[in-house]
Amino acid sequence: MNIAVVGASGAVGQKILEVLEERQFPVDNLYLLSSPRSAGTTVQFNGQEYTLEVLEPASFDKDIDIAFFAAGGGISKEYVDIARDKGITVIDNSSEFRMVDGVPLVVPEVNPEDVHDETLIANPNCSTIQSIVALKPLQKFGIKHITYTTYQAVSGSGVGGIADLKEGTTTTYPYNIQKSVLPHIDSFLDNGYTKEEMKMIEETKKILNDDTLNVTATTVRVPIENGHGVNIDIEFENDFDLEDIYKALEEAPGVIIRDDVANLVYPLAEEANGTDEVYVGRIRRDLSRKNGLHMFVVADNIRKGAATNSVQIAELLQ
């Protein structure tokens, strides 16, 4: 297949290339598109050297089958329709089209059936992706209410977030991320939630195809470089057996259980980094309410939370 990567110089774009190579995705011609600042630099892919080109409308005049967009909402808003008009299928990592009616929002382990003949498929928010992978196998027990509390690494803010963590600067964050956790990801809305929180709420309902779900979220930035954690509190319609919960998670694609508290085994970002699985642990009943469950979920937010999920979507299109 002929592939283009928009934002090829960024963290997610670079990781998409890495994952395409690892998974031996059948790439014939490869086009790497970037800002003028990065154009002209070279990268290696499958033993060949490729030069980054300036992104412009004419970039999509080439024979391209799939274009991965990993350059932010503004670029997606400007260029996605140009690519689609040329008959190119777009897999978009921004939030620009996620909640648009008719645009599938896809996590391949969860709703691969939503990929048909569309020319635009949206990649969900990073924290939503890992949460949904763990929630989907439990949907059969009748999920009534979900509460998310996230612990999101600075790599979710790109190179600027990583620089703030390493240097103690406040270029990306309003406060020194070396010294605090920040209960603030993306801008605040009139309802008191942040955009990041509303993304998780709305995307969960869309991916699970259940508008009746009650979902709330608090998203927090923490001073680690990579690997998001999410505490998920679930209320089910009816009582459940913990053994059935474990069995459902053990059988779920893309899930690894790390839950042996007697030996201090639970999900860690250090273990998740560099992998494509979702790690689940601290699985226990919620003692404060009937039919409640707690679990803690960790994943590599740049891989499963962005690049790998995008490549998995492309694999569904083969």
Active-site annotation, residues: 126, 228
In angstroms, how far is CA 76 from the centroid of its own chain?
16
284 annotated ligand binder: no
131 annotated ligand binder: no
87 annotated ligand binder: no
12 annotated ligand binder: yes
156 annotated ligand binder: yes
Going 148 to 273 to 182 to 179, the CA torsion angle's sign is: positive
11 annotated ligand binder: yes
| Residue (of 206, 213, 6) closest to 97 by Cα position | 206
By CB atoms closer than 10 A (0-12, 13-18, 19+), residue 272 is: buried
98 annotated ligand binder: yes
10 annotated ligand binder: yes
152 annotated ligand binder: yes
SS (H, E, C) the chain: CCEEEECCCCHHHHHHHHHHHHCCCCCCCEEEEECCCCCCCEEEECCEEEECEECCHHHHHCCCCEEEECCCHHHHHHHHHHHHHCCCEEEECCCCCCCCCCCCECCCCCCHHHCCCCCEEECCCHHHHHHHHHHHHHHHHCEEEEEEEEEECHHHHCHHHHHHHHHCCCCCCCCCCCCCCECCCCCECCCCCEHHHHHHHHHHHHHCCCCCCEEEEECCECCCCCCEEEEEEEEECCCCCHHHHHHHHHHCCCEEECCEHHHCECCCHHHHCCCCCEEEEEEEECCCCCCEEEEEEEECCCHHHHHHHHHHHHHHCC
37 annotated ligand binder: yes
Binding annotation for phosphate: 98
Binding annotation: 9-12, 37-38, 98, 152, 155-156, 221, 301
Binding annotation for substrate: 152, 221
Binding annotation for NADP(+): 9-12, 37-38, 155-156, 301
